[in-house]
Chain A
């Protein structure tokens, strides 16, 4: 007795046998029926013992029919029902044979099961612990590598060091000039309005000088280098990983940290203080431009006030911070590059992550410096 039908697929149940009628044109663009329409036949312990077909009126067919039959075959296997495909056309049988030739590797699935909240929290915590362990191991290896460098035992290409120094030094000057010059001008605009109100616009020079040398010079250079150089490091190392270039280094017995991370870290340790000093100078010049042109302060007075405002401690603090920021940018870029997956999109993700991690770490570190220097009265 028929219990369901469409123009393409009908089903009738005779005792334990399910007879499926296939007819008409099965065109994937016309949304033909899928296994869903047959699912009730296998629910509530009411599964048939055998499934057979009547394909006498079947016309053209495509993947829509084969995929439905495959799903049906799978359900039959799961419910212990016989899948009698003798009545199916030879072409369909051949396609089914091809699809069923290699059994599904059930244990090869990536594990997409939805887990309980507690399980996921635990899993995320373990992952975080692993990441922290990896980060500490990486920093430890970097320290050992620096030690080997200082004792002349590190093995790397000197040429690579100079190329990196140039890339993250001289080539960064234009962007550092633009950003830090504008920062100096913004500071001057903000400060000059307040100082002019109090009748002492020349003290804008002190504000700009102290702000640039103690904070903004190093901070802005660090952020610029994160976006420019940190991302480049992550992308370079990530691409090397995708192309198995890192594997090639390992199988020659080269220490990958010495070879790839050390030159990049050394380059930033050397160049960050120099770039920061340059950024300070450009920022102060930007401040001078705004103050002298816009608020009628003489250049001599501006320079004298700047020199009076600055001292060795401010320079030392700015320089130390810039070295720390350089280490952060290099470590984040290289770590994310080395951790990159082996696909093109993974390289992009590694570069993005390197920028996010290093900018966050730079700002947190700067805040820690601010607290410490305030407590110590520096």
Chain B
């Protein structure tokens, strides 16, 4: 991954399995969101290839790429809802453009998708009329509009209060379990990572390559890279990485 002559990350080599909840993590500015932009085709790798089901995404012709993109759903950090459309229009647009469903059927599906993210009743609201957290959830509903095989979420719980973040985590698990969606998440929210992820990549800003891949819970315990262990234990050394206590009561 590079911006002009500035190489951001090199030698990235990892596999995401169907049904994984895969986390892209690392320190601020290491290129997590940039990697996501590569995975969804918004940026081309300076070198190398991205394969989906063994088929090259990077070298796909435009028609083939458009077909592959329809299998993706992407939620952006800001929600990126189309501001001139209501929430229901936002979710309906991909359905209107890519299916032959009748308007009444589309309304049903839109209503279902919005209810999945707890936004029933907000169908006719514009993005400017809802909160940031609701915007993120609406972004997830839109990303799921076409029942994608792979769902990409960029910092879904950033800026949310702990309870909303927890509900979002539960929703992500539910989506994976009930729809068998593969979910790729950019985040550095440790609580979310340990609650939902089964696979991950850690981007090491110091060496500008992948520091480790695998289950983050395992990485936290036994990753040979001390910086990654410290990151996953929130800056504490192994000895200190135990729950904080005061007068015998766990905090």
Which A-chain residue is minimally distant from B205 (CB atoms)? A102
Nearest chain B CB to A8's CB is how many angstroms away? Answer: 36
Question: A239 CA to B69 CA in the complex, in Å?
Answer: 24
- Output the residue of B66, B74, B78, B80 with the most chain A CB within 10 A: B80
The answer to whether the Cβ of A300 comes within 8 Å of any Cβ in the partner chain is no
Write out, one digit per residue, whether chain B residues 136-147 have a CB within 8 A of any chain A CB (1) or not (0): 000000100000
Q: Do residues B93 and A251 form an inter-chain contact, with CB atoms below 8 A? A: no
Query: A244 with B94: in contact, given A251-B42, A252-B69, A252-B70 (CB under 8 Å)?
Result: no
> Contacts A155-B97, A244-B76 known; A251 to B82 CB distance under 8 Å?
no
Q: Which residues of A contact B72 (CB under 8 A)?
A: 251
User: Which residue of chain A has the shortest Cβ distance to B94 in the bound complex?
Assistant: A252
Indicate if the CB atoms of B6 and A107 lie closer than 8 Å. yes
Among residues of A, the one whose C-beta sits closest to the C-beta of B145 is: A252
Contact B40 A251 (CB under 8 A): yes
The reply to whether A253 and B83 contact each other, CB–CB distance below 8 Å, is no
Bound-state CA distance A254–B97 (Å) is 9
Q: CB within 8 A of B66: which of A108, A157, A244, A253?
A: A253
Closest B residue to A239 using CB positions? B83
A111 to B62, CA, bound (A): 35
Interface residues on B, range: 20 to 34
**Tally of chain A residues near chain B (CB < 8 A):** 18
A206-250 interface (Cβ within 8 A of B): 239-240, 243-245, 247-250
B78 with A253: CB separation less than 8 A: no
On whether the beta carbons of A245 and B81 are closer than 8 Å, the reply is yes
Select which of B6, B70, B80, B84 is within 8 A of A253 by beta carbon.
Answer: B70
Q: With contacts A107-B6, A253-B69 known, is A248 near B97, CB below 8 A? A: no
Mark out the residues of chain B between 72 and 104 whose CB falls within 8 Å of any chain A CB in the assembled complex. 72, 74, 76-78, 80-84, 93-94, 97-98
Is B6 in contact with A108, judged by CB distance below 8 angstroms?
Answer: yes
Please give me the residue from chain A that is nearest to B3 by CB atom: A108
Contact in complex: B69, A248 (CB < 8 Å): no
CB contact list, A107-159 vs B, under 8 A: 107-108, 155, 157
B162 contacts partner chain A, Cβ-Cβ < 8 Å: no
What CA separation (Å) do A160 and B82 show in the bound complex? 12
Interface membership of B41, Cβ < 8 A: yes
Using Cβ atoms and an 8 Å threshold, which residues of chain B touch A239? 83
Cβ B70 vs Cβ A248 within 8 A? no
Chain B residues positioned under 8 Å from A253 (CB to CB): 65-67, 69-70, 98
Which residues of chain B in 48-82 are interfacial with respect to chain A, using CB atoms and an 8 Å cutoff? 65-67, 69-70, 72, 74, 76-78, 80-82
Write the nearest CB–CB distance from A41 to chain B, whole angstroms. Answer: 33
With A108-B6, A157-B93, A253-B66 as contacts: A248 and B83 at CB distance below 8 Å: no
The answer to whether B80 touches A243, judged by C-beta atoms less than 8 angstroms apart, is yes
- Provide the residues of chain A in CB contact with B93, threshold 8 Å: 157, 252
What 1/0 mask marks residues of chain A from 152 to 177 whose CB sits below 8 Å from any chain B CB? 00010100100000000000000000
Closest 6 CB pairs between A and B?
A: A253-B69, A244-B80, A253-B66, A251-B74, A248-B80, A244-B76
Residues of B bordering A, CB below 8 Å? 6, 37, 40-42, 65-67, 69-70, 72, 74, 76-78, 80-84, 93-94, 97-98, 142
